[in-house]
Amino acid sequence: GAVVSQHPSRVICKSGTSVKIECRSLDFQATTMFWYRQFPKQSLMLMATSNEGSKATYEQGVEKDKFLINHASLTLSTLTVTSAHPEDSSFYICSARPRGLGYEQYFGPGTRLTVT
Partner 1 sequence: DAKTTQPPSMDCAEGRAANLPCNHSTISGNEYVYWYRQIHSQGPQYIIHGLKNNETNEMASLIITEDRKSSTLILPHATLRDTAVYYCIVKTGANNLFFGTGTRLTVIP
Q: Which residues bind partner 1 (CB under 8 A)?
A: 4, 6, 34, 36, 43-46, 49, 91, 93, 95, 102-110, 112
CB of 15 to partner 1, least distance (A): 24
CB of 53 to partner 1, least distance (A): 19
Q: Which 8-state DSSP code applies to residue 88?
A: G
18 vs 39, which CB is nearer to partner 1? 39
CB of 91 to partner 1, least distance (A): 7
Distances (CA, A) of 88 to 29, 61, 74, 78, 80: 30, 14, 27, 16, 12
CA 96, CA 45: separation in Å to the nearest integer? 15
